[in-house]
Amino acid sequence: MHEVKLRGVDLNLLTVLGALLRHASVTRAAEELGMSQPAVSRALGRLRALLGDALLVRGPTGALIPTPRAQALAPRLEALLAETAELVSREGFDPARLQAVMRLAATDHDTLMLLPRLVPLLAAEAPGLALRVLPITGTTVEELAAGRLDLAFSVLGTPLPASLRQLSLYHDRLVTVLRAGHPALAGWSLDGFCALDHILVSITGRGTGAVDDALAGLGRRRRVALWLPHFHAALRMVAQTEMAVTLPRSLALEHGPALGLEVREAPLPLTGFTATAIWPEVLGGAPAHRWLRGRVVAAARGLPHVAPP
Beta strands 151-155 and 244-248: pairing type? unpaired
Regarding predicted confidence, which is higher, 52 or 205? 52
Which pLDDT belongs to residue 117?
95
Q: How many CB atoms lie within 10 A of CB 168?
A: 14
Percent of the chain with pLDDT over 70: 94
**Averaged confidence pLDDT in the chain:** 89
Residues 47-83: tens digit of each pLDDT:
999 889 999 998 888 788 889 998 888 877 877 777 6
List the one residue out of 158, 177, 175 whose CA is nearest residue 166. Answer: 158
List the one residue out of 221, 218, 212, 226 whose CA is nearest residue 174. Answer: 212
Which pLDDT belongs to residue 208?
82
Is residue 305 scored above 70 in pLDDT? Answer: yes
Which pLDDT belongs to residue 298?
93
Q: What is the DSSP letter of 307?
A: B
Q: Are the beta carbons of 65 and 56 closer than 8 angstroms?
A: yes
CA distance 88 to 256: 48
Which pLDDT belongs to residue 53?
92
Average pLDDT over residues 179-206: 92
Query: Model confidence at 90, in pLDDT bands (50, 70, 90)?
Result: low
pTM for this predicted structure: 0.71
Average pLDDT over residues 261-270: 96
Q: Are the beta carbons of 303 and 117 closer than 8 angstroms?
A: yes
Q: Give the DSSP H or E segment for 100.
A: strand 100-106
Residues 213-229: tens digit of each pLDDT:
999 999 999 999 999 99
Using CA atoms, how far residue 276 sits from 17, 91, 137, 172, 306, in Å, is 30, 30, 16, 11, 13
Which pLDDT belongs to residue 3?
46
Which pLDDT belongs to residue 73?
85
The residues that bridge with 236 in the sheet, in sequence order, are none
Is residue 212 scored above 70 in pLDDT? Answer: yes
Which pLDDT belongs to residue 87?
63
Which pLDDT belongs to residue 29?
85
Residues 97-122: tens digit of each pLDDT:
999 999 999 999 999 999 999 999 99
Percent of the chain with pLDDT over 90: 59
Is residue 275 scored above 80 in pLDDT? Answer: yes
Which pLDDT belongs to residue 286?
85
Which pLDDT belongs to residue 178?
98
Compute CA 82 distance to the chain's CA centroid, rounded to the nearest angstrom: 20
Which pLDDT belongs to residue 1?
38
Which pLDDT belongs to residue 5?
56
CA distance 309 to 301: 10
Q: Are the beta carbons of 64 and 25 closer than 8 angstroms?
A: yes
Which pLDDT belongs to residue 8?
60
Which pLDDT belongs to residue 88?
61
Query: Model confidence at 258, in pLDDT bands (50, 70, 90)?
Result: very high
Query: What SS3 class is residue 200?
Result: strand
Which pLDDT belongs to residue 74?
82
Which pLDDT belongs to residue 284?
80
Query: Model confidence at 4, in pLDDT bands (50, 70, 90)?
Result: very low
